[in-house]
Chain A
Amino acid sequence: MLFHNIKYNTLASVREKSIIFWLMLFPVILATFFHIALIGVYDKDILFNTIDVAVVEKTENPNFRKIMDSLSEGDDKMFNTTYADEEKALKMLDDGDVKGIIYVDPKLSLSVKAEGLDQTIIKSFIDQYSVTESVIIENALKDPGSIGDVSAAFSEELKANEQLKLSDGNMNTYMTYMYNLIAMVCILGTTVGTDIARRNEANLSSLGIRSCVSPTGKLTKNFAGLISGCIVQSVCTLIAAVYIVFVLRDDLGIPFPMVVLTSVVGSWMGVAIGFFFGTVGKFSEGSREGLSIAFSMVLCFLSGLMVGDIKTVMMEKVPWFNNINPAALVCDALYALNVDGNLDRYLVKMLTMAAVTLIFTLLGFIMTRRKKYASI
């Protein structure tokens, strides 16, 4: 009887249009949009790229030109320099071909169209040049014999600031959107869980009425419903994961079997939470479904699905919340797998997910037992 129920519960779930849309199609569509719009932003917005700059030489400054030329050579050059007259340079700035115009007049100055990181770096470079020049001149005027030592101090390569290597993972911060997307599909499992309760509770649907008058025990029916729900939900989450990893080819920084494991455990957690929600209170079917979707989306919002910065805010203001927010648990587990060199943090997240699943499943079973209806 258990397997019979599992089979038909699974078939019923798969035929639900809302499940096909929200759990299979919607994540795929959203992942495509994330991929198109966000994944490449890291290379353009976060990583340093060569900056296009125009130089207008109103007076000659061979030293400055020499430095600009040396910084505009090689594979990892700092600038793409174009020497131009003022009119041409302004046109290039207007057209967005250069980020700034450096005027050599003889004092250096900068013209930009807008504020930004590129412009700040150009300004920082000019500051650096001006300071170096003025310090050398100042010391040369005081003690001409010190020019060699002072110039050597500036030209010597500094090894003062060591970089700490903290992770070998993929540091693309925008990849959290993909982690959050997988978390969203897991947590949307609440709709599947709510549906299990709807099908088995006589006060929620006519299907529940029929189910209640059948001789199959409630425990068997709910247990079969949960197993089928977990299967369907896991498949849906894996479709999203497979799509992200193998179709979009986004580097989650995690071995795929670990993505599968995390997705499956996350999916079960979503179903268990939904199962509990389905058994609480006396809401109508529509309100219950609406509440479970709204609840899931709020959790996903707080985990950073819609606005990535929310995650940082939550980490700083209410760090404990990320340890109990189911969406953040899935997202953080994937993140820990990516950046940590060990499984300590990942195991804590996975155990918390398992505990949440167990607690909500037990609570759901407790809520469904010993119910009697005066009239069905």
Chain B
Amino acid sequence: MQVYKVFMKILRSKMSIAITYLAIFLFIGISSANNSPNQGNFSENSAGIIVNDLDKSEASKALIEYLGQSNKISEGAPSDREMLDGIYYNPSRYYLTIKEGFGQKLAGGETDGILAHAAQEGSYYESLVGSKIDLYLTTAKAYVAAGSTAEEALSKAAAALEKKTEVTIVSKKAEGFGDMESYFKFIPYIFLSVFIFALCPVIMTMTKTEIKNRIFSSSISPKRFLFETALSSLSFMAAIYLLVIILIPVFVFKADVTHDMEIAWLNSLAFTVFCASIVLFISNLISSEPLVSLIGNIVSLGMSFICGVFVPLQYLDGSVKTVAAFLPAYWYEILVSALAGSNGQVYSASLAVKCILIQFIFAAAFVAATFAVLKAKEAKKTGNTQNSQALPA
């Protein structure tokens, strides 16, 4: 197994970049998977409301308590600049100022300009919190109009607002896979990066004409060379697959091995096979090592941005999605979303088969393209040899 040993020796020198990518992925993937929203009962999206209560009346406290039922409330008196930074970097933030005289004016049925807010203009969160505040104030105002005292109106409004609409989630719930979506969705980026940056330079080194000539002048046959090179590449890929796709979900996330999880493993296996084919293609297409960095970055980042790895599929433009459909990472992401019941995807066995099959077809296409590149290279080499032989001495 001389070739295998040499391959692994060269691979060790290229491992630093693979380890860096893996470490960053595991940090982000594990932390985001742990923060995934609970997929049980319907829970409302909540805003982070920072309240500056200048009135400090019973009415203002009641309003804060009401808003706190479905939002995260904190009190403070931020400056305009702090508010600006807050809403710019965190669009779910809502700064509410309860002005002096709020309680008194509300008791008198007057509501104009009793509150002020800062939020991303025209945003969902501005609309959501704004409608809740309006509902509270109009309900209290209605009770005052009906003859209740201010205190009575507030307590009656609070009681009336406790009524909540019944919400049913009708989608098929993945058997525990929902929490794993934010982990599995990053796989295309990490696998493409790790495999291209670590394996391509090694394969390129191993297939250099000088190295090959030296190896073939020994007792190692070309078949054995090819076999051991393929075996070493596959064992590296298998080790990464085993660690990232099976061991971490099972032992770190304590995920159950359900049917959905098995489909996710199969989906990742199909993508790993595609990665193997693209590594083979790039290694044979280019001969300069610095180019690996360029092509690797373009392929991994490009595919990730276009196919919904970094940005959820539902936010991508229709034209971007049309282009993405010609890339395997898109089909990988479709299946992950379907398993998790997100991005408007619904899981079905036929969808799973389709997504996995398309990835295998892409892999087969790249293997065929690699053979074409090798054939063209061979033809060029033969042509050059014949030309040099035809030259007069």
Which A positions have Cβ atoms within 8 angstroms of B? 17-18, 21, 25-26, 29-30, 33-34, 36-38, 40-41, 44-48, 90, 93-94, 96, 107-121, 123-128, 130-132, 134-136, 138-139, 142-143, 146, 149-150, 152-154, 156, 158-164, 166-167, 171, 173, 176, 307-308, 311-312, 315, 335, 339-340, 345
Contact = CB atoms under 8 A, between A and B. Distances in A.
A176 B171 contact: no
A120 B92 CA distance: 13
Q: Which 10 A-B pairs have the closest CB atoms?
A: A96-B344, A33-B305, A153-B142, A149-B145, A37-B305, A160-B111, A113-B171, A126-B165, A139-B146, A146-B146
Given A114-B169, A160-B114, A160-B134, A166 B87 contact: yes
A113 B344 contact: yes
Contacts of A163: 116-119, 121
A113 B341 contact: yes
B342 interface: yes
B389 interface: no
B102 to A, nearest CB: 9
10 contacts: A37-B310, A46-B124, A110-B168, A112-B168, A112-B170, A158-B111, A160-B113, A163-B117, A164-B95, A164-B97
Nearest to A166: B84
Given A149-B146, A152-B145, A159-B111, A121 B124 contact: yes
B320 interface: yes
Contact of A29 (B132, B144, B297): B297
A312 B115 contact: no
Contacts of A108: 165
Contacts of B121: 163, 171
Given A37-B306, A112-B170, A146 B145 contact: yes
Contact of A109 (B81, B120, B134, B167): B167
Contacts of B168: 109-112
A295 to B, nearest CB: 13
Contact of B37 (A115, A150, A167): A115
B117 A37 contact: no
Interface of B: 28, 37, 42-45, 80-81, 83-85, 87-91, 95, 97, 111-128, 130-135, 137-139, 141-147, 160-161, 163-171, 290, 293-294, 297-298, 301-302, 305-306, 310-311, 314-317, 320, 341-342, 344, 346
Contacts of A166: 80, 83-84, 87, 118
Given A96-B344, A131-B163, A46 B171 contact: no
B145 A150 contact: yes
Nearest to A38: B311
A311 B42 CA distance: 30
A370 B112 CA distance: 74
A164 B83 contact: yes
B145 A47 contact: no
A313 to B, nearest CB: 10
Contacts of B147: 143, 146
Contacts, number: 230
Given A109-B166, A115-B45, A117-B45, A158 B87 contact: no
Contact of B120 (A44, A46, A113): A46
Given A36-B320, A160-B113, 4 more contacts: A46-B124, A115-B169, A138-B160, A163-B121
Contacts of A130: 163, 165
Given A44-B315, A111-B168, A120 B142 contact: no
Contact of A47 (B124, B298, B346): B124
Given A48-B122, A115-B37, A37 B44 contact: no
A37 B28 CA distance: 20
Nearest to A142: B146
A164 B127 contact: no
A349 B146 CA distance: 57
A250 to B, nearest CB: 15
A203 to B, nearest CB: 24
B315 A40 contact: yes
B133 A160 contact: yes
Contacts of B114: 160
B142 A112 contact: no
